[in-house]
A and B are shown apart, each in its own frame.
Chain A
Amino acid sequence: MLDTYGSTRELRFLDKLKDFNWLLIALIAAIASIGFAMLYSVAGGTFEPRASRQMILFGIGLCALIVVALVDLRVWMRLAYPAYAASLLLLVVVELFGKIGMGAERWVDLYVFQLQPSELMKITLILAMARYLHSLTLDEVSRPLTLIPPLAMIGLPVILVLMQPNLGTATILGAVGASLLFVAGLSWKWILPAVGAVAAAIPVGWQFLLPYQKERVYTFLDPERDPLGAGYNILQSKIAIGSGGVFGKGYMLGSQSQLNFLPEKHTDFIFTTLGEEFGLLGAVTLLLLYLAVLTIGMMIAYSSRSHFGRLLAFGICVNFVLYILINVSMVMGVIPVVGIPLPLVSYGGTAMLTVLFGFGLLMCVHLHRNVDVPRHSGAFW
């Protein structure tokens, strides 16, 4: 009995491995495999250079997932603030070096691989928010004074990322933070004015958008106004998806993708290739796989006895779903073009590793669902 309820006994390594949610791993692998297949297709039927590299990255990511999952949840909780502080520092560094390094603003070269601090921030923000909110009672969440730290936690990186400028990531960071506050029980008396304030801020914020960002919005509102220029991407993407029909044109037979009419087909627009070559069936299958992953993620959140675990799992899910919604809406011309990849499918190292790291934390919550986490665990360490 004690083992399953309120036990403080440390879980053994093998027990943890046995307890892994292998269905989640299988679903992740299935989604990633769709990615490999599409990368193979858009490279004209070759593994080189992207599909093979993506597979290696996925392998590394999967190992990272297992390692992350096996680490005690309380260790992650203790690491939350320092990790957040470190990523914030990296963002500042990027901002500074970015000014010198001409356009390489979003990257820090770690010699082994390039790291996008904004991606790292997505994870550490969730950790830090979960840790902070874990320590508050429901009443405390809505007190003005206790609200200041989480708002600052969200605000600082959002501003830094906006300065890069990276509207897509800033939106995700803001939305993830806000969602966490919401599910942590923020009073409606705060929520309603906040929503109002955000709505009111949109016209003001518009003034601060850079010309290329405004251009994207204009283009979104009327993609045909410049079909060979800014509207080209959206138009070609819609043509590719639409021409796929119910069953698609067949694997490696998508004329739009294979003949280079499609831009960024291996990164942000990979969903388009899927839609063109596998049609409605392929696109909906991928969306259902994503939904299945999210469902498992939420079940993990609900099964967690600790509030930290709940919030952490939830935050990971929100982050994941925002990627999907933004990317898929974008390639179908529902929202303006923002540089957000399709998680697990788009080619790209940082995104792949970040997402798998996130799933590692999710799995960690799953393994430690019955572990008690003290409300006030040793101050900031």
Chain B
Amino acid sequence: MPILGDGHDTLRAKTFTRRSLVMGGGVVTLFAALTGRIYHLQVVERERYAMLAEDNRVNVQLLPPLRGRIFDRFGVELASNRQNYRAVLIPEKAESVERALDALAAYIPISDNQRQKALREARRNKPFTPITVAENLTWEQFASLNLNIPDLSGVEPDVGDTRHYPFGPQLSHVLGYVAAVSERDLENTDDDDPLLRIPGFRIGKQGVERAVDRDLRGKAGVRQIEVNAYGRVIRELSRDTGTPGEDVVLTLDMEIQKFTQARVADQSASVVVMDIHNGDIIALVSNPGFDPNDFNVGISHARWKELTEDPLKPLINKALTGQYPPGSTFKMLTAIAAIEAGVIPPESTVHCSGRMSLGSHDFHCWKRGGHGSVNMIGALKYSCDIYFYEVARRCGVDKISEVAHRFGLGETFGFEVPGEKRGNVPSQAWKLATTGEPWQQGETLITGIGQGYLLATPLQLAVMTARIANGGRAVVPHILRSVGATSYAKPVPPSIGIPDVALDLARQGMNAVSNEPGGTAYGSRIVSDTLALAGKTGTAQVRRITREERATGVIHNDNLPWHLRDHALFVAFAPVDVPRYAISVIVEHGGSGSKAAAPVARDVMQLTLERDPSRRAAMGPSAGIAGKREG
């Protein structure tokens, strides 16, 4: 059947075909372009997008490593990691946060503060984020949590690590403490260790903890977790627990440290015991101390106030930072300077009438009637001031100063525990530079007996004594025995160039002080043929005795208020014949050196000699403690 308008239809069919094919061609082109785009995304830029997808998917969390432990020379644990029992709440697993906290309060004490903090965190975070409600629970509390977990929906008992100092205040000044990284810590360091950014990560703030913080810290572990778009953890992809910090062994002997601390309990005192040959610090006591465990868990305001307001200054490490006039303990150096300068033959005597005039000033000996004629050994033995005034006058201050520096006064030793103070050793140039005034000869005299501008720390006095005892070698103090597998070699220290005769005289004088009747420390001698010590007392004036007072009679120390009493000092080495250890003792406002300081030194030295490592094996580098690590 013919169709109406068939001719027209052919025409429009042709147009349709032509034009639709053009459009079809356009569509094919567009498909090709889209394929090109897909190719671009999936092949050309694949790496970039794969990385972005991985970034999306994978969260990297740092795992804090276990901090290295600290041991004394015989392997006694001085700082360790204790398990920290915590109660953690996961809001989405609890019916309501309030009710979960109420339930929790039935088993462990929850303060209002903790409650508010938990509620605040729950509001701020996603419901699957765990909230730490309480920390440092006792084992009993933790056990009761675990036992009652069916009643505590949303609560999870959790165990972390926290620093523990078993000896508390006895080692506060040596070990220091750890505390959370502060903004200031981050600003003042070039340390870019990612661990520092972990919230709540603790670093060493004082003492050895700070000195070898990076070794103790270890390497961060990394945990890769897969998260979804809302940050919920889907699964753990990998876990690298990191490297625990290095264990550190100190040269300390905890028994001696403990004994010493107890020996000076209730007093504001410092004691330093060191090995005169290799510089090992056997005990380093600054009393009173503080409990570093308090800082670790966050110290309370009241406790902090108590510590800062205590007149005995428990926060100050006096052994390193306390600067005292060395008093008569300095007289050995005056004597040595005089011998070296050749200003007085050792056997020559000086007559002590109890008083010496220089210009319009009178200089007094501590003994009102005087000592009569004394030679150098006698002057040391009786601690005669007049003898040393005279010798100092002949020497001049610059010679004394130069010798003092060689014995470590006015110097720092790069000691590992931070905070060493330099003290002060005056000279003519020093005085002119600091005060603008010229040096007065009278000042040389009082420098000769360890007063005036002279200042020394207990550590410096121990070093000074060690250098006298070891034959004039520049021993420096050390407290690190080993860090990890590295033990610190202690080469024989170089000589400080003092003639043996001078040192010998100083040692003989000290021997006389302790072991000859009439010596100022004879009462505090060690009665033994082989273990006797040789020492020197010192008493440092805190106040000036006025002319009027001298006329009416000097007020006895015991009648003065505590803070005006003299500092008591004592330095010693032992055994006399083959010296091995040096000790310095300073009892702040303790009165006379012979009464307050020498007995302490005797007791500590006696214990030190009894525990001499020659009688027992000291601990080697970490080999000896390998495998003891827990966790």
Which among A184, A241, A279 has the greatest number of chain B C-beta atoms within 10 A? Answer: A241
Contact partners of A179 in chain B: CB under 8 A: 23
Q: How far is the CB of B5 from chain A (nearest CB, A)?
A: 6
Q: Mark A244-288, 1 if CB is under 8 A from B, else 0.
A: 111000000001100111000000000000010001100110010
> Known interface pairs A261-B229, A275-B38, A284-B38. Does A239 touch B49 (Cβ–Cβ under 8 Å)?
yes
Stretch of A12-20, A109-117, A165-173, A294-302 lying at the B interface: A294-302
A314: interface (CB < 8 Å): yes
Q: Which one of A6, A141, A182, A283 contacts B3 once the chains associate, using CB atoms below 8 Å?
A: A6
A59: interface (CB < 8 Å): no
B35: interface (CB < 8 Å): yes
Contact partners of A236 in chain B: CB under 8 A: 56
A183 touches B15 (CB 8 A): yes
A164: interface (CB < 8 Å): no
A325: interface (CB < 8 Å): yes
Contact partners of B30 in chain A: CB under 8 A: 325
Contact partners of A243 in chain B: CB under 8 A: 46, 49-50, 52-54
Contact partners of A280 in chain B: CB under 8 A: 38-39, 42-43
Stretch of B6-14, B77-85, B297-305 lying at the A interface: B6-14
B56 touches A279 (CB 8 A): no
Contact partners of B16 in chain A: CB under 8 A: 183-185, 301, 307, 310-311, 314
Contact partners of B629 in chain A: CB under 8 A: none
Bound-state CA distance A185–B12 (Å) is 7
Residue of B nearest to A8 (CB): B1
Bound-state CA distance A256–B19 (Å) is 42
B43 touches A259 (CB 8 A): no
B31 touches A260 (CB 8 A): no
B625: interface (CB < 8 Å): no
Bound-state CA distance A328–B46 (Å) is 18
> Known interface pairs A256-B53, A260-B228. Does A287 touch B1 (Cβ–Cβ under 8 Å)?
no
Bound-state CA distance A179–B26 (Å) is 12
Bound-state CA distance A179–B5 (Å) is 24
Bound-state CA distance A185–B227 (Å) is 57
A101: interface (CB < 8 Å): no
A242 touches B15 (CB 8 A): no
B1 touches A372 (CB 8 A): yes
Contact partners of B17 in chain A: CB under 8 A: 302
Contact partners of B57 in chain A: CB under 8 A: 255-256, 259, 261
Bound-state CA distance A302–B20 (Å) is 10
Q: How far is the CB of B409 from chain A (nearest CB, A)?
A: 65
Which of chain B's residues 223-258 have a Cβ closer than 8 Å to chain A? 226-230, 234
Bound-state CA distance A279–B45 (Å) is 13
Q: How far is the CB of A364 from chain B (nearest CB, A)?
A: 18
A184 touches B35 (CB 8 A): no
Contact partners of A8 in chain B: CB under 8 A: 1
B126: interface (CB < 8 Å): no
Q: Mark B26-67, 1 if CB is under 8 A from A, else 0.
A: 011011001101110111011011101110110000000000
Bound-state CA distance A298–B19 (Å) is 12
Bound-state CA distance A307–B8 (Å) is 10
Q: How far is the CB of A73 from chain B (nearest CB, A)?
A: 15
Contact partners of B15 in chain A: CB under 8 A: 138, 183-185
Bound-state CA distance A1–B24 (Å) is 33
B42 touches A259 (CB 8 A): no
Contact partners of A287 in chain B: CB under 8 A: 31, 34-35
Q: Which one of A183, A238, A260, A332 contacts B34 once the chains associate, using CB atoms below 8 Å?
A: A332
A329: interface (CB < 8 Å): yes
> Known interface pairs A260-B230, A302-B17. Does A138 touch B34 (Cβ–Cβ under 8 Å)?
no
Bound-state CA distance A6–B57 (Å) is 65
Bound-state CA distance A314–B3 (Å) is 22
A375 touches B37 (CB 8 A): no
A255 touches B56 (CB 8 A): yes
Which of chain B's residues 192-243 have a Cβ closer than 8 Å to chain A? 226-230, 234
Contact partners of B31 in chain A: CB under 8 A: 287, 290-291, 325
A28: interface (CB < 8 Å): no
Bound-state CA distance A287–B28 (Å) is 10
A37: interface (CB < 8 Å): no
Q: Mark B425-440, 1 if CB is under 8 A from A, else 0.
A: 0000000000000000
Interface size of B in residues (CB-CB distance below 8 Å): 45
> Known interface pairs A183-B16, A185-B19, A259-B57. Does A298 touch B50 (Cβ–Cβ under 8 Å)?
no
B4: interface (CB < 8 Å): yes
Which of chain A's residues 323-344 have a Cβ closer than 8 Å to chain B? 325, 328-329, 332, 334
B42 touches A242 (CB 8 A): yes
Bound-state CA distance A177–B19 (Å) is 15
Q: How far is the CB of A32 from chain B (nearest CB, A)?
A: 20
Bound-state CA distance A147–B186 (Å) is 77
Q: How far is the CB of B206 from chain A (nearest CB, A)?
A: 43
Bound-state CA distance A377–B500 (Å) is 136
A52: interface (CB < 8 Å): no
A321: interface (CB < 8 Å): yes
Bound-state CA distance A311–B13 (Å) is 10
Bound-state CA distance A298–B18 (Å) is 12
Contact partners of B227 in chain A: CB under 8 A: 259
Bound-state CA distance A227–B254 (Å) is 60
Bound-state CA distance A240–B228 (Å) is 14
A259 touches B228 (CB 8 A): yes
A321 touches B27 (CB 8 A): yes
Contact partners of A45 in chain B: CB under 8 A: none
> Known interface pairs A280-B39, A284-B35, A307-B13. Does A242 touch B49 (Cβ–Cβ under 8 Å)?
yes
Contact partners of A310 in chain B: CB under 8 A: 13, 16
Q: How far is the CB of B609 from chain A (nearest CB, A)?
A: 70
Bound-state CA distance A284–B39 (Å) is 9
A46: interface (CB < 8 Å): no
Residue of B nearest to A374 (CB): B4
A238 touches B49 (CB 8 A): yes
Contact partners of B4 in chain A: CB under 8 A: 374-375
Bound-state CA distance A97–B51 (Å) is 48
Bound-state CA distance A285–B19 (Å) is 28
Q: How far is the CB of B233 from chain A (nearest CB, A)?
A: 11
Bound-state CA distance A35–B560 (Å) is 98
Q: Mark B96-130, 1 if CB is under 8 A from A, else 0.
A: 00000000000000000000000000000000000
Q: How far is the CB of B399 from chain A (nearest CB, A)?
A: 76
Bound-state CA distance A141–B39 (Å) is 42
What 20 new A-B contacts, CB under 8 Å, besides A256-B53, A287-B34? A6-B3, A138-B15, A183-B15, A184-B12, A184-B15, A236-B56, A239-B56, A240-B49, A242-B41, A242-B50, A242-B52, A243-B50, A243-B52, A255-B57, A260-B229, A261-B56, A275-B41, A280-B39, A307-B9, A332-B38
Q: Which 6 A-B pairs have the closest CB atoms?
A: A242-B49, A243-B53, A259-B228, A185-B15, A260-B229, A242-B41
Query: A: which residues have CB within 8 A of B?
Result: 6, 8, 137-138, 141, 179, 182-185, 236, 238-246, 255-256, 259-261, 275, 279-280, 283-284, 287, 290-291, 294, 298, 301-302, 307, 310-311, 314, 318, 321, 325, 328-329, 332, 334, 372, 374-375
Please name 11 pairs of A and B residues whose Cβ atoms are closer than 8 Å in the assembled complex, sorted by A: A185-B16, A236-B56, A241-B41, A242-B46, A242-B53, A243-B52, A246-B42, A256-B57, A280-B38, A298-B20, A372-B3
